[in-house]
Amino acid sequence: MPDMAQTDRLLIALAQLDPTVGDVDGNLGKARAARAQAAQLGADVVMFPELFLAGYPPEDLVLKPAFQQACRAACDVLARETADGGPSVLIGLPWFEDGQLTNAFVHLSEGRIDALRHKVDLPNYGVFDEKRVFAAGPMPGPIVIKGVRIGLPICEDIWTPDVVECLAETGSEIILVPNGSPYWRDKNDTRLNIAVARVTESGLPLVYLNQVGGQDELVFDGASFVLNANGALAVQMPAFREHLSLTEWTRGPDGWVCSVGERHLVEEGDQGDYAACMLGLRDYVNKNGFPGVVLGLSGGIDSAICAAMAVDALGADRVHAIMLPSRYTSKDSLEDAALCASALGIRYDTVPISDTVDAFEASLAPLFAGRKTDITEENLQSRTRGTILMAISNKFGPMVVTTGNKSEMSVGYATIYGDMNGGFNPIKDLYKMEVYRLSALRNSWKPEGALGPDGEVIPVRILTKAPSAELRDNQTDQDSLPPYEDLDAVLERLVEREWHVAEIIAEGFDGDMVRRIERLLHLAEYKRRQSAPGVKVTLRNFGRDRRYPIVNRFRDQGLPPYQPDQALRKTSTAANIMDMT
């Protein structure tokens, strides 16, 4: 039976931690360590994020019976350990019972599983796919901890009013929300507004506890917080790092109040994007067991910022830069790459590719006889570089970091099996102008927990010179692409906002340019489908967010948005249904 003894003081430890999907034993170990720390602080209960024992999101792994059973076994172990008189535990896991699999949250106390609640509202949009694997739970009532009625909506359950309204109507006194809420730009304001709405409607204080860490292309930023019933922020936990915070609650004449506690600054905007890219790369490399990374350092902006992010994420001793010069590589690029490597303190080697490219061209000469030199020979250089980087990866074990930005990946300005080679891309969701902004930012600021040096790490000339792939004489990106300021603006409207071509042209953009960009965006889908995963920072990334068909003949011709002709419609849908019955 739950402990019904009333109390006027409750100490809740919030464990904002970084689980690893599938590492049930490791996640259990993290939970044990956090519970021990909470016990030293005198906590009554320690709370963990959504699906913590499994890691989030587990995707189709959660359908494996062996995985479900491993999570339940870990839950049983942790439940038995609560018989020691220490803090009780609130923790999430997949729960299979009566033929249904749910996203569950349990209270473990006095050596047993004391209470169980299930997620009601399963998100099925953007990066989320929970209806594919979970069944929705019933509307919940509160559980009881030390005589306090606690409501436990799980993540998406607070994004609409119904679940919190049910919890308030059934007597909840405090709302505790475990979350697996991934980062994208300006997400913090959205979360806070949602939480304030639920507090205002229910009149109850609310804890928003979020996971932290990278999982494939998603980054969970933490940034957990506590709101009192009047909407005031009582506690703000840090972003992008693990943290345990003890919150103190007292019962007053108007209900429960959380004492004002830690108030950390949360990185947002460009700082948030950089911190997310760094954390996403760090966790991808470390959780997959790579000893370090290797990347081509060309003297250009994209490879320079990727090198800086890699050093910040992993430390200089785990980053290896390779300059791969051809006959078209400029003296400036050689100097800039060497200066960047020196500023970052990383190993830097040079592997010339001219002889290798010449050998490829000689081998192909009989087949290419009578054909003019074109993009084929340019791509041979890129593919030679990709092959060399992969050879180094195979020989010594580091993962290849690929360095293409979102502008290039959008329009296919990248060589498949060449500069697209690699295991992970930290800037995949950053447009070119954002890469420039974040590079300038990194020269004047460094995120909390970054392992790289302070100060200028990307030489100023890299920030100011015209970008070039240097695959032919006097080449610049703008020979093939519109100015990046225009390209990025059009792409943001096409990709993130799904605007009509006509709407973009109406904003003053050149019509031929917009139609060309829209065409290239669709043609490059087959390349993007084969590209390395990379950190999501925008509202809509290339990956889980945007699932376009490769075979796709639709093109937006720039006509005005269609307006249905109501005169052609004989009856309403409702009337049709009535006719059928």
- Choose which CATH entry (3.40.50.2300, 3.40.50.970, 3.40.50.720, 3.40.50.620) describes domain 288-477+520-529: 3.40.50.620
Give dist(CA 426, CA 421) in Å, integer: 13
320 DSSP 8-state letter:
E
pTM of whole model > 0.85?
A: yes
Report pLDDT digits (tens) over 507-555.
999 999 999 999 999 998 999 899 899 999 988 888 887 888 888 878 8
Give dist(CA 296, CA 142) in Å, integer: 55
Q: Which two tokens stand for residue 336?
A: 């800039």
Q: How far apart are the first and last CA of the chain?
A: 52
Contact 14, 261 (CB under 8 A): no
Q: In this structure, what are the phi and psi dihedrals at residue 204, rounded to the nearest 5 degrees?
A: -115, 150
Contacts of 487 (CB under 8 A, 6+ apart): 407, 411, 432, 481, 517
Please identify every residue annotated as catalytic. 50, 119, 155
pLDDT at residue 269, as a whole number? 94
The series of mean pLDDT values per 10 residues for the chain, 581 residues long, is: 69 97 96 97 97 94 94 96 96 95 96 95 84 91 95 95 95 96 91 95 96 96 96 96 96 92 93 97 97 95 96 98 92 93 96 94 93 91 94 97 93 90 95 95 95 95 80 68 90 92 92 92 90 90 82 80 79 52 41
Report strand pairing: 319-323 vs 293-296.
parallel
**Positive or negative, the Cα torsion across 278, 280, 286, 289?**
negative
pLDDT at residue 2, as a whole number? 45
Contact 212, 220 (CB under 8 A): yes
Give dist(CA 230, CA 174) in Å, integer: 13
Q: Where in the chain is the domain with CATH 3.60.110.10?
A: 9-266
pLDDT at residue 161, as a whole number? 94
pLDDT at residue 573, as a whole number? 54
Transcribe 168-187 into DSSP letters: HHTT-SEEEEEE--B--TTH
**Positive or negative, the Cα torsion across 498, 502, 503, 506?**
positive
Q: Where in the chain is the domain with CATH 3.40.50.620?
A: 288-477+520-529
pLDDT at residue 42, as a whole number? 96
Q: Which two tokens stand for residue 335?
A: 């100097």
Transcribe 426-438 into DSSP letters: TTTT--HHHHHHH
Give dist(CA 213, CA 129) in Å, integer: 19
pLDDT at residue 580, as a whole number? 45
Query: Which helix (DSSP H) or strand (DSSP E) does residue 348 occupy?
Result: strand 347-350
Supply the CATH classification number for the domain 9-266.
Answer: 3.60.110.10
Q: In this structure, what are the phi and psi dihedrals at residue 400, rounded to the nearest 5 degrees?
A: -80, 125
Q: Examine residue 549 and say whether the peptide bond preceding it is cis (omega within 30 degrees of 0).
A: no
